[in-house]
Structure 1
Amino acid sequence: MFATLQNPLALVGRILIALLFIPAGFGKISGFAGTVGYATSVGMPMPTVAVAVGLLIELLGGLALLFGFGTRIAALALAVFTLAASFFFHAYWALPAGQQMMQQLLFFKNVAVTGGLLAFAAFGAGAWSVDGARSGR
């Protein structure tokens, strides 16, 4: 049963994960200065460059994942980005105990998203993708 569902599940998985990154990338375009200010406030080095790079990774990587184009590379780039961003923006261990719960939840949500991205990096996009069409699957 799962073999027949492999391609539709891969497609739905790519869509759902891309929905996390594509709107965030567009949000950074429209709120670039505010995002740079927030990145500065959490101590991110070279915040303007970091936000610009993050915007490109989220937008281009999210679109690549959505369409299944260069999926393994896009998923790996998004995984590294997500994990790195988590340490800056969800550093729950540096907060007072009363403020840790939400940031800890967001941190581990990002760890789980990273796991899903690593699965796409390992196994690819499935046949219902640009990568699948190009390989003749």
Structure 2
Amino acid sequence: MTTTLQNAGALVGRLLLAGLFLPAGFAKLNGFEGTVGYIASVGLPAATLAAAAALALEIVGGLALIFGLGTRWAAIALAFFTLLASFIFHAYWAVPADQAYVTQLLFFKNIAVAGGLMVLAAFGGGQWSIDARRVS
């Protein structure tokens, strides 16, 4: 694969991953009370703090991926967040059988997203990123 294709792939990958987190962060911001209620409904303590931290991570992390700024750290933080959220909010093994299929799909989708984020963390944002410009 040529360097141009690799860099284009890294950029598109960053944008697609950010497309999951940035809108989710803004949705949490716009529906903050609902987010707090959802977090509290699964028994997590400090639901307001957790909601604020989640929306901040999704917005800041999403922007970091878009611009390729602190890409590796953003990817690691978002991967950890995604894995944690998967086990808490998509515990397909603990829901009624009629809900298990969709919950299991969401769980494994998130596992795959975390895998993609770890690849991004391992290889960086590519040459078409602010990170690459800062090193040069």
Which category describes the TM-score, using the shorter chain as reference length? Answer: over 0.9
Q: What is the aligned partner in structure 2 of residue 77 from structure 1? A: 77
Give 2:41's aligned residue: 41
> Where does structure 1 lack aligned partners over 5 or more consecutive residues?
none
For 1:8, the equivalent position in structure 2 comes to 8
Contact map agreement 1:24 1:58 (CA 8 A) in 2:
yes
- What letter corresponds to residue 94 of structure 1 in structure 2? A
CA distance in 2 between partners of 1:83 and 1:47 (Å)? 18
1:25 equivalent to 2:11? Answer: no
Tell me which amino acid in the other structure corresponds to 1:114: A
Q: Deviations over 1:15-37 (max 9, x none)?
A: 00000000111111110000000
The percent identity for this pair of structures is: 63
| TM-score, length-scaled by structure 1 | 0.96
- Whether the 8 Å CA contact 1:26–1:59 is kept in 2: the answer is yes
How far apart, CA to CA, are the structure 2 residues paired with 1:108 and 1:51?
23
The residue that corresponds to 2:91 in the other structure is 91
Do the aligned residues in 2 keep the contact of 1:6 with 1:126 (CA within 8 Å)?
Answer: yes
Consecutive unaligned residues in structure 2, runs of 5 or more:
none
| SS of aligned partner of 1:122 | helix
Give how far 1:2 is off: 4.6
CA RMSD of aligned residues (A): 1.0
State the alpha-carbon separation in 1 of the partners of residues 95 and 78 from structure 2. Answer: 26
How many residues are aligned here? Answer: 136
Alignment of 1:54-69 (within 5 A): 54-69=54-69
User: Is this contact kept in 2: 1:43–1:88, CA < 8 A?
Assistant: no
Partner of 2:53: helix, strand, or coil? helix
Query: SS in structure 2 opposite 1:114?
Result: helix
Instruction: Specify the alignment match of 1:119 in structure 2.
Output: 119
TM-score (norm 2): 0.96
1:45 is displaced (CA, Å) by: 2.3
